[in-house]
Chain A
């Protein structure tokens, strides 16, 4: 790769971070707010089932297992994709894409790099936070007992897989965004995708709660690589072989995503209207 190519990518990252942090409070709410609501919902649910309802295990998981999953999954939910695929769809619809098409950069990649910049910061922040919380939690024996394999290295592996997930999430979104070339408005389609992702990424519930006969549903999508997979890795619930296999699967999804983007954008761009102006 040419030096100039690396330079624009670094500059785009810097620029994206500057843009995301232009409003400090907004950024803070984005970092702290988004993942805590699903986590709170999960905690209320587990409390009701285990403490009020009297359940001792669900799908082989105890109350402590559930809480550990909920807390660790917050870290990866923060890194799950942003909304820059929505930005792409809106740019196609409203003509904003014209600003990027004439620049000597790949528009899909450029938008991703600018959009992912704050996520890299958040990932680093979550990692430090996660490791600190993990070390502190070892003080409490019940928590330590529920998370025997939660180690800094597992957290780092988990975060790496979450980042692969972030890329795949954008690839799926960027492919769906090309519907805007045909229908003009693809907002609802992307919203449906996000709702499916919420359910099948493991952000709302651990995916092993799915009945055995329905496990194929989440296994046949890449969405579990966003939150469920990284959380399993961080909690040490996957073997080393399983971890490498999942990284391999993520790699294949990324190659597939790249092919899909190339094809859908190559076809769609001929229908671009460059409205406005």
Chain B
């Protein structure tokens, strides 16, 4: 498959005024403003093949949205280069705009006071979609996303989920070749998110479009993306399959102990950092009885499980234990919080 997106050593810095606290800070900002520079992206490199579904993840402020804005052509990089569909995105030639789409979950792109159908009608004219094709696409999309009955309702009167689906339809009507999705399932209920995910999966497979998705919902990433890019503080720290991320991550040892032992002591016995030990409150059974035995989770490497267990058995009595495969979410959590991970 051919490369559709190529990013070479992209850097992007933002300059913003710095305001100190209180009235003194206000006056200083007025007469002698100071600025600070923040580097949102620090030399990012990657290539994406046509038809891929790629997850772009990272903690808040990691640089995900900045990267999407550069790739879609909204802002230029400070240095480095990006090519999308063989074009420098910031040139934004008309043929480029016809082939891409950007959906920002936190930003309305349709017109608030108009029903979606009026907005779609305008988009049909903007993208020069023939009437028959437009009808077919609109029917397909509205049926897939189950919003046919809301087409004539003012956008501002729709629920968040319905609005998001309309935004997505508006972004797809012209059948783009590359779609940038920035947190499309934000604020959606479980059912709406699942429908949206299924729709994206089908759309990607059926139309062979390239999708880059950012999301804080690891379900989105796990179910949809064949490849994950992880950004931390503007740097790319992982590029590969989600399954590799899990293999590479720690496994989770679940233990219930006879006596209650503080995390500091457990850390001392096992040699694990306190941050790798989670003491969970007792879970209630079917009758609502929670009991008083807490479950302790140890995040560790698979090969270290026996050592940890031996250390525990030497110092206390274990009631039961189990080894769980870590969820993508827990692995990602650890990567976000551990600068050495």
A residues with CB within 8 A of B: 4, 7-8, 10-12, 14-15, 18-19, 22-23, 95-96, 98-99, 101-105, 270, 272-274, 276-277
Contact = CB atoms under 8 A, between A and B. Distances in A.
Contact of B114 (A18, A96, A101, A105): A18
Given A15-B111, A19-B111, A22-B113, A274 B106 contact: no
B215 interface: no
A182 to B, nearest CB: 12
Interface stretch (B91-99, B229-237, B244-252, B262-270): B91-99
Given A11-B124, A18-B114, 15 more contacts: A4-B128, A7-B125, A8-B126, A10-B125, A11-B122, A12-B122, A12-B125, A14-B121, A15-B114, A18-B118, A98-B102, A102-B72, A276-B107, A277-B65, A277-B107
Nearest first, the 10 closest Cβ-Cβ pairs linking A and B are A11-B125, A277-B104, A4-B128, A104-B97, A22-B113, A274-B74, A15-B122, A277-B107, A8-B125, A99-B109
For chain B, the bracket of interface size reads: 20 to 34
B75 interface: yes
Interface in B175-228: 182
Interface string B55-74: 00000000001000100111
B35 interface: no
Given A15-B119, A99-B107, A104 B73 contact: no
Nearest to A99: B109
Contacts of A14: 121-122
27 contacts: A4-B125, A8-B122, A8-B125, A10-B125, A11-B122, A12-B122, A12-B126, A15-B111, A15-B121, A15-B122, A22-B113, A23-B113, A96-B107, A98-B104, A98-B107, A99-B109, A101-B74, A101-B92, A102-B73, A102-B92, A102-B101, A102-B102, A104-B126, A104-B127, A274-B69, A276-B106, A277-B106
Most buried by B among A11, A98, A99, A104: A104
Contacts of A18: 114, 118
A65 to B, nearest CB: 43
Contact of A101 (B73, B104, B119): B73
B154 interface: yes
Contacts of A105: 126
Contacts of B72: 102
B61 to A, nearest CB: 13
Contact of B75 (A22, A96, A103, A273): A273
A274 to B, nearest CB: 4
A270 B92 CA distance: 12
Contacts of A15: 111, 114, 118-119, 121-122
B76 interface: yes
Interface in B105-148: 105-107, 109, 111, 113-114, 118-119, 121-122, 124-128
Most buried by B among A4, A12, A98, A270: A98
Nearest to A270: B76
A105 B118 CA distance: 18
Contacts of B106: 276-277
A276 B105 CA distance: 11
B46 interface: no
A166 to B, nearest CB: 22
Nearest to B95: A104
A102 B113 contact: no
Nearest to A23: B113
A104 B100 CA distance: 10
